[in-house]
Structure 1
């Protein structure tokens, strides 16, 4: 959703890891009024400690901005397998930049966050969740100290670290991670993250205590009563959400309450401390999705999971979700957001805890206790002795596909 001033130009995103060199931004060219998505690869990586594998694909698509035709994609992503040289640690992250230097912020965080995390010895010792949180906070400080002007620019970050047969999820902002759970004949979506916006009462109260004015743009302009501090939900009020403003100004206007960068918004409560959660994978977990809010602005978590479940090939699912997201954006206005989506299938997982999987929140960034990280710490300790047992390798699934995938035309604004 970004800031009130929109998303501006920046550098073209790329993956920060050599394992993901096959992945690239989809090209945009017109054929009979259609925009074609180029071919993407499927990659797979084993998790030898639990004898299963991850099969994944990614798509990133620049948004359609009719008044800024030269604007580049401010989304970026990072896929890094074998973090710290460990064949059982794999990182997936999506970063959604915003503001004048949003692309630079997104790319900076994409490159630095996983490096900081990978170099923290606590990751394989007794404090993995705090290592994860510290990586976010340190990246934020480094961005402040960099040559990038993050006064009113920054990025959200949604990341998943696969740790053997567990996921460690860390999030700042309103991008999202979702996992699919098979229950009987149904495939249900379970959110792995919670959007951090003023729609959440706890986040609203936190930023108010830090000095933020929380108002929608209509309230700021006097078109609606500013004293009514309830806004319904994101689905019904997404076009004019509550935003963070300084007390006597019309800035920064962020529609999220946590981010990396955004030094002005940080002064009124927009922190970089992530919310961290862990989930035990079971054979009933089919896949998980990590995506920017360009996907989730108009599609629910369940709708995204339903679409992934409809396509055996994650490349087709990525393209279908991108196409539907574009369609919904254009149905609601004259532009689309940048869209980035990573789909990771969990293959051949078998363990004894199939009915015990549920997401457990590990609260960080203010008020967390060390005891909250017991489960995550134990899982890392158990893995340390397994590293040398397994031969590391990575496989690539053939990318020989003859078909092109078509998404809605972006050459004209739809009729109202």
Structure 2
């Protein structure tokens, strides 16, 4: 059983709650005083534990004690040698003296990867029956589909701390069984930006999970897919505005005025796909062409890429016109700088995308959560779909992504890793190793 004041991760949405007297604060899930009903400790050989990536961490201070939880994606083997991918969280307590509490709070470092691997497994918990990535033992086939998510934190050169990675502001979205219907899924990506972009993308991801699993039924989704997605966006924006206006003390505190996130989602209802996009994350469908051209090179997989979304950037003439009409301005602030949305008479704040969830400073200038919709009915020859942040698309074309994934289509785990690794290599090549963005891809094989 968790102790009072301990931080826990609840469910596949990775929401963080604090335990008080056996009840999860700000949550509806109760923890039994006789035992922990929501979590179980991992029972496996410690040598089988492999921590793949740290997604984020949470700090909380009480009575001069700093409590930290580190959210991880883990790979391990159970007693039957079956590989399990899951979400894990490590709990830590760090004692601080009264005089050093404030100044040392931000100096306490999370354990290194080697230290995490040596932690007793009793320190690592994961939700019963839950899997963050939506599959076990690689890309499993569920309802005829394989699903995989791969993410990598970005990097920015820092002479004072060489090799330090930046905070990962990307989030992948995998929601199976929307509205309680096993034939309804939601897939997509979020790419946060601004100082608190990681908080925004995380909160939006959590809110989407709540909306599609608790706030809407399958009949409503099937009756009006566009209406369901519009309500989901409206639900998320209203929750962020409540944070912005500080209407409730129980709401989390982070900046949504100059921080925000992109949103690229696809709602699958059987063979029907409806994609919405806000920002410059992208969804692309890949299929076999009806007739392969004779002049296709061997390096070309022959797979046709069909864009399911349009990038929303101020460099786009239609988007630029919309922003200017609303009262904003689009300009480059330097010779090698991207075009940004700016206030009419100032150079700050600014944003290199023309639509966003959050970033409420820009609403009067047309910078808002305005989704674009695209319908598609799956047909014979439709192979797979990729949702990715601009960490992928900045240096890789749709066709390059097609080639990488198609050549490894029977091993989605490998395909996703190769895709993210290739994107990172292209960033290193083009920035001479000084910077690469967060890189995230969700792949679904139909």
| Interval containing the TM-score (normalised by the shorter chain) | 0.5 to 0.7
**Larger relative contact order (CA 8 Å, sep ≥ 6):** 1
- Indicate the residue corresponding to 1:209 in structure 2: 325
- Indicate the residue corresponding to 1:167 in structure 2: 273
Does the Cα contact within 8 Å between 1:196 and 1:256 map onto a contact in 2? yes
Alignment partner of 1:139: what SS? Answer: helix
The counterpart of 2:429, out of the listed 310, 331, 334, is 331
1:263 matched to 2:360: yes
Superposed structure 1 runs of 4+ greater than 6 Å apart: 9-15, 27-30
- List per-residue Cα deviations over 1:306-326 (Å, max 9, x = no partner): 111111311111111111111
1:309 matched to 2:406: yes
Residues 29-68 of structure 1: matches in 2 within 5 Å? 41-46=138-143, 53-67=144-158
- Indicate the residue corresponding to 1:157 in structure 2: 263
1:244 matched to 2:335: no
Does the Cα contact within 8 Å between 1:63 and 1:73 map onto a contact in 2? yes
- Indicate the residue corresponding to 2:131 in structure 1: none
| 1:335 Cα offset (Å) | 0.5
Distance, in Å, in 2 between the alignment partners of 1:205 and 1:289 is 29
Distance, in Å, in 2 between the alignment partners of 1:23 and 1:299 is 29
1:120 matched to 2:225: no
TM value normalised by structure 2: 0.63
- Which 5+ residue runs of structure 2 have no aligned equivalent? 1-55, 59-69, 74-83, 89-110, 115-135, 244-252, 293-301
- Indicate the residue corresponding to 2:171 in structure 1: 76
| 1:61 Cα offset (Å) | 0.6
The counterpart of 2:282, out of the listed 168, 176, 180, is 176
User: 1:28–1:80: structure 2 CA closer, same or farther, 3 Å change rule?
Assistant: farther
Aligned residues: 299
- CA RMSD after TM alignment: 2.6
- Which 5+ residue runs of structure 1 have no aligned equivalent? 1-8, 16-20, 31-38, 47-52, 224-238, 347-416
Does the Cα contact within 8 Å between 1:40 and 1:57 map onto a contact in 2? no
Distance, in Å, in 1 between the alignment partners of 2:260 and 2:429 is 28
Does the Cα contact within 8 Å between 1:179 and 1:191 map onto a contact in 2? yes
Distance, in Å, in 1 between the alignment partners of 2:228 and 2:72 is 25
Alignment partner of 1:214: what SS? Answer: strand
Alignment partner of 1:22: what SS? Answer: strand
- Indicate the residue corresponding to 1:406 in structure 2: none
Alignment partner of 2:258: what SS? Answer: coil
Distance, in Å, in 2 between the alignment partners of 1:178 and 1:23 is 27
